[in-house]
Structure 1
């Protein structure tokens, strides 16, 4: 569910087919916020990577659960950011010699990436780079607060 007030939320089954629906909803939300194209693509790529990791790894060998994505807009006086959390209720499994690039992709596309693991699952928090407020000049803006 997305709205133009700066909030996005979806919960879907940890099934690869569901990833396409999630991406389309996130894209619509960011379009509704008039998010700049390059930053929008970066955010979709990073959040998609976090969701893909949850779908592929969180429930391995167990009954698949859900993946929850919640996004919110944080606006400052001259710029804004989106903060998106991706949560699963699976078990963290460290990669066994895997050479994936998921963390590199997320960190390359977002300003901040953090991962919190506990007995109830994993939460990935992604914070976008600051972008100008709609109608503001693209150069010389301060970070969102």
Structure 2
């Protein structure tokens, strides 16, 4: 799989590329813990514009945050710094809607910590508790985590959510 081109750095040089459309939110940022705030605030604004119910919105942000934190913390350990790519999309169904989010890195897979190790956390457990479906796919050039939210009802004009301003 080829790595997509990276946009020029945004103001301040932090987020590498951000796209916000009614049904999509994407961001690529450097795998640095400080950069995690960029995707969190943008994802939150996008979900609010979609009129996502608050409890489910918090669950989506928490689960995606855990996936991104794992990429930042583990993917590039001992290697050259890299990027984390987040792509979220709105999925409409009959009488319901969901968000599907893909978190991708281009680092090396790190095996799970030993059970007696203090290096592990509750990231995967948290993701599974917050989302309906979580899949992790290891690839030769990185890891892809796909998260699918629980369904939420269509509300008012949910099929035509209000537009989100540019980041």
Q: TM-score if structure 1 supplies the norm length? A: 0.90
Provide the residue aligned with 2:124 in structure 1.
103
Structure 1, unpaired ranges of 5+: 137-145
Tell me which stretches of 4 or more aligned residues in structure 1 moved more than 3 Å.
none
Separation in 2, partners of 1:56, 1:107: 19
Alignment counterpart, residue 64 of structure 2, candidates 25, 37, 47: 47
Aligned CA-pair RMSD:
1.1
- Could you tell me which runs of 5 or more consecutive residues in structure 2 were left unpaired when the two chains were aligned: 1-18, 158-167
Choose 116-125 or 95-104, whichever is displaced more.
95-104
Is the 2:132–2:150 contact (alpha carbons within 8 Å) kept by the matching residues of 1?
yes
Counterpart Cα distance in 2 of 1:118 and 1:87: 10
Aligned counterpart in structure 2 of residue 118 of structure 1, from 139, 155, 162: 139
Count of matched residue positions in the alignment of Structure 1 and Structure 2: 135
Deviations 1:46-105 (A, max 9, x none): 000000000000000011100000011100120000000000000000133233101100
Q: Which residue matches 2:21? A: 3
Equivalent residue runs for 1:1-145 within 5 Å: 1-4=19-22, 6-97=23-114, 98-135=119-156
Q: Is the 8 A contact 2:60 2:149 kept in 1?
A: yes
SS at match of 1:17: helix
Q: Residue in 2 aligned with 1:140?
A: none
SS of residue matched to 2:125: helix
Shift of residue 26, structure 1, vs aligned partner: 0.4
Counterpart-to-counterpart distance in 1, 2:91 and 2:33: 30
- Give the secondary-structure state (helix, strand or coil) at the position aligned to 1:41: helix
